[in-house]
Structure formats: structure tokens, C-alpha cells
A and B are shown apart, each in its own frame.
Chain A
Amino acid sequence: MVNMDLLEGLSAAETNRVLGLGKVFTLESGGVLFRLGDPADSLYLISRGRIRLTLPMQVRDRSESVMVEEQGSGHTVGWSALTAPYRFTLTATAAFETEVVALGREELNAYFAANPDTARIIALNLAGVIGRRLQLFQAMWVREIQRMVESRCA
């Protein structure tokens, strides 16, 4: 099993116990993991493959799914399952055959209640995952604003 960003800092035994809470399944190429607006009951650790995260965009009067981010093995997608209002804010599909571990919110919360040390480590890792995403998109957003300013002032 590859190193998972969400489980960094846990012992091997503890990592296996957390992974044991989940369900492993495989998506075919193009298979949908979750859709924008769906209830988010599970988060997903990618053990093999690649997940494309897309948002709808109007392109020449057609609504198209435009890729905004990709995540590969070892990374976490669907962390909306752990943050209110528990709705997915993107659509996730497999770029090719991809294996994920689905961790249900209820199972995780029950485990966290019984294992606060593990909960603290995972919560910090989750904060890192979310913070990284925030910083990346903040930088991308500022780059776009800069270009908009340059085109308006040209």
C-alpha cells in the first residue's frame, strides 16, 4: 500500500486499522466516483490510479466538464465528507482504472471518538491537504486576476 497523505505520522499498525474501516473498490476508466452536489458520506484515499476533479463550464454554449485538478495515488479526494455541509463541490472521475479506499464519515467519527490521538494526527493531515489546496488555488486565482488587470490596462 502506498503512503497516504491523510495517514502520515500514524504507525503501520494504526494505518492498517484505519484502512480496515474502509471499503476498497476499483473504478473503470471514466467511472464516476462522485458528482457535484451529491451528499458527501465518504472520503476517498487513492491507492492506485488517478482521479480527475472537474467543474461545469459553458464552452461555446455547451456545458462541459472542465478539469480543475488531478490527484494520484496516495492522495485524498472527497474531504467534503468531513466538513459541513457534507456536499461534494466537484465531480470526480477516474482518468484510467483506479483503485480507492472509501472511508465513511460515521465509521471514522466513531473511530476518532475512541482513538483521539489518531483523530488528532488525521485532523492535522486533513488540515494540510485542505490548506495546500487553498494555497494552490489562491495563487492560481491571483495569476488570473493579474492577467485580467494587464489585459484591461493594455
Chain B
Amino acid sequence: MEMLLMGACLSVLGLAVACMAFGAATREADVQTAAPVVEQEMVKPVVAARFFAEAPKVLPLAARSSVPIEALLLQIESHVRLEHAAAECFLEAPNAALLHSRTVSPFVN
């Protein structure tokens, strides 16, 4: 009899634990499904406003990074030298391929 009662109590306890777990899982799912709705409501207008309000800003690769200005100036100088050399090559043998030949400048790669 005692064994039977103990088994019944454990079953009830197990059922209670299962119900709590189910309840908790259901609440999390509700929160998870509700959250994106709130996020979308907050984010969507901001994205739309940026898209229509501002033209996209195209920054050179080197300008976007956080390199020191001295390094950036050296990159510009290197770019000018390479472009100058490429232009001189074009003048030596003028043709369309040489006019638009690629250099290793970080500004164009």
C-alpha cells in the first residue's frame, strides 16, 4: 500500500514537473515569437528612412579603415607613383589595354 502511495505521489510530482517545464517552454516560445515583431517594428522604419534620406556614401577602402593618417598619406603617395608609372607605360606604347592596366595599389584593390 505504501509503495502504491509512493508511486502515486511520484507520478503526481513528475506530472507537476512536466507541466511546469511545458509552461516554461511555451512562455519562452511566446517571447521568442513576440520579440522579432517588436524588433521589426523598431528596425524597419529606421532602415527605410536611411535608404530614402541619404545617398550611399562610397568611401575609399583605405579611408574606411582606422589606419593612421601618415600611413594613409603614404598609401596615397604610393598610389600616385603607381598611376604615374602606369600612365608612362601607356605613353610608351599607347593602346587601350595599357591605358586601363591594373596596379597593386591598395586604393583600387
Contact = CB atoms under 8 A, between A and B. Distances in A.
Contact of A142 (B80, B84, B88, B99): B99
Contacts of B83: 140, 143-144
Chain B binding surface SS class? helix
Interface string A51-63: 0000001011010
Interface stretch (A3-11, A66-74, A77-85): A66-74
Interface residues of B, number: 19
A75 to B, nearest CB: 13
A129 to B, nearest CB: 14
B57 interface: no
A137 B90 CA distance: 11
Chain A binding surface SS class? helix
Given A60-B63, A147-B108, A139 B90 contact: yes
Nearest to B98: A139
Interface size class of A (residues with CB under 8 A): 20 to 34
Given A140-B83, A151-B58, A59 B73 contact: yes
Contacts, number: 49
Interface in A122-146: 132, 135-137, 139-140, 142-144, 146
B87 A67 contact: no
A59 B90 contact: no
A139 B87 contact: yes
A60 B60 CA distance: 12
Interface string B4-27: 000000000000000000000000
Interface of A: 57, 59-60, 62, 64, 66-70, 132, 135-137, 139-140, 142-144, 146-147, 151
Interface of B: 58, 63, 69, 72-73, 76-77, 80-81, 83-84, 86-88, 90-91, 99-100, 108
Given A59-B72, A62-B69, A144-B83, 20 more contacts: A57-B76, A59-B76, A60-B63, A64-B73, A66-B77, A66-B80, A67-B76, A135-B87, A136-B91, A137-B87, A139-B86, A139-B87, A139-B90, A139-B91, A139-B99, A140-B84, A140-B86, A140-B87, A142-B99, A151-B58
